[in-house]
Chain A
Amino acid sequence: MNNLPTISHLQIVPDEYRKAPNAQDVATLIEIKNLSLNIDQQAIFSNISIPIYSKHINVLIGPSGCGKSSLLNAIIRLTDFTKDAHLQGEILVANKNILNPNCNLIELRKKVAMIFQKPTPFPMSIYKNFEIPLKEHGVKNKIDIAAKMQSALKSVGLWKEVKDRLNKNALSLSGGQQQRLCIARALTLAPAALLLDEPCSALDPISSQIIEELLLELKQKYTILVVTHNLSQAKRIADYVAFMWYVNQCGRLVEHNEAAIIFNKPSNPLTSAYVQGVTG
């Protein structure tokens, strides 16, 4: 820990929203602009500006507690569930500011799906796990439900494993299968973006690898934002990387750029220390 750069070394530049130099004409689906979160007067993160590039894998890295999960939660307004949480700034999803008080949250959450760190299928049958959200979003017909479920399960490579046990409790699946079930469940709603909060941290290396391959495949169609603590995983899958750190308990964005630049010649000394595994 002695090599930790002190606060005085920190030059946290990107307070302004700007795209990576080589990505000027890559489309963005989500634009986070000057976003700050306070919970009960305490700043959790402040002044974060990150473009999330369409149909790419955007990775968010940083030490524990710097506000990565909170940032993900903010994007689909799950922060509303936290008492006294206040968001400031702008989050544009498809050019609409979702912090607007009369934003339709259900539409937003249909458009942007989120996968949590711990696999959390609902403790009921696999089929029900798909039926409930699909019915909410207007798919009432059993045949349609079954078809959507099947194609989602196929796209996460789970169909063969579960097709004979759709009426079994989803908790009877292995951790890796549960996580893929959660991804499939999210995909049935035809989202444009997937947010994944440390999707592999509760999984063994083989399951992790399956999920990584899945993400690489899914990025053809979806905009993906992943939080991970696993730097080698980030190196394997990331197209763009945002690196966060905390200053006085408050999360700040340090650097955001193409993965190759962040991992090979980052502009901030803190980033280079972190990605070389010296700190964090």
Chain B
Amino acid sequence: MPPRCIDNLFLRFIQLVSLVSIVSLLFIIFFLVKESYLIVQEKPILTVFTDPAWHPLDGQFLLLPMMVGSLLIMLGAMLIALPIGLLTAILCRYYAPRWFATIIQRLMEVFAGIPAVVYGFWGVMVIVPAIAAWQAPGTSLLAGILVLTFIVTPGVTIISYHNLSQVNQTLLHSAIALGLSRYNIIRHIIFPEVKHGLITATTLQSGRAIGETLAVLMVCGNVVQLPGSVFEPIRTLTSNIALEMAYAMDTHRSALFLSGLLLLLIVLVLAFIAESMQKPKAESQ
């Protein structure tokens, strides 16, 4: 066969192979929609906000507490992890001696790769008892937030550091030449430069956080309720799926798929926000 034919065949072939990713994604969406269809058929979709409770076997499908639980836990974790991660990155980049910065960087890379279930397990062994000693029962919104904070902090630190190191060197040199103080350089020169990158990264990490399942399930107590305080147990959308998927049937199963679809939508919206946040930076370059 002449080489030109082989080249053409090969191109067709890899085009076909490339379709696998797209088809997989379509399959995922298709199955989520297909499996959620049953419940949408039987009840209006707003059911998930208006039913009196989550009693799937009795046909009550209130998902609201789980949504609130997911959101609270994500927000809580991001609110702690963001300042700590950013400040740690600032420390590594501008204040700490090199060796110290390197240690933290390497450590964060390692911890970013650690399975979330390890943090969950450690939460069960250490964090939950510690909270329980203070306020029973220990398995609570707070425990979930703390464990999730452990999970997202390494990522937030790494990305913040990466964003800081992308700042234009000549810009910094001219700021230094102007005799600006270190605080002013960080606050007024560097921060505006990295703001967009940080927002993007934070939004993406939030998607990670809200999708986290087992680690959160292990420490949150999993009671379906709107929590009155951070010491009360909660259940997230993801835990709900993990807990009930194994035995769910019919509309119950369908309701779980609906919550999966909901999760996917939230994550995609977050990803979309992240992407649109990136734009202004690209234009200014």
Contacts and interface: CB of A to CB of B under 8 A. Distances in A.
Contacts, number: 5
A interface: dominant SS: helix
Interface string A96-135: 0000000011100000000000000000000000000000
Interface size class of A (residues with CB under 8 A): under 10
Nearest to A136: B3
B4 to A, nearest CB: 7
Interface string B1-43: 0011000000000000000000000000000000000000000
Contacts of A106: 3-4
Interface string B203-236: 0000000000000000000000000000000000
A135 to B, nearest CB: 12
Contacts of B3: 106, 136
A136 B2 CA distance: 11
A103 to B, nearest CB: 11
Contacts of A104: 4
A104 to B, nearest CB: 8
B174 to A, nearest CB: 31
A106 B4 CA distance: 9
Contacts of B4: 104-106
B163 to A, nearest CB: 31
A73 B4 CA distance: 20
A81 to B, nearest CB: 14
Nearest to B7: A106
B205 to A, nearest CB: 36
Interface in B212-271: none
B134 to A, nearest CB: 61
B14 to A, nearest CB: 18
Nearest to B3: A106
Nearest to A106: B3
5 contacts: A104-B4, A105-B4, A106-B3, A106-B4, A136-B3
Interface of B: 3-4
What are the 5 A-B residue pairs with the smallest beta carbon separation, nearest first?
A106-B3, A106-B4, A136-B3, A104-B4, A105-B4
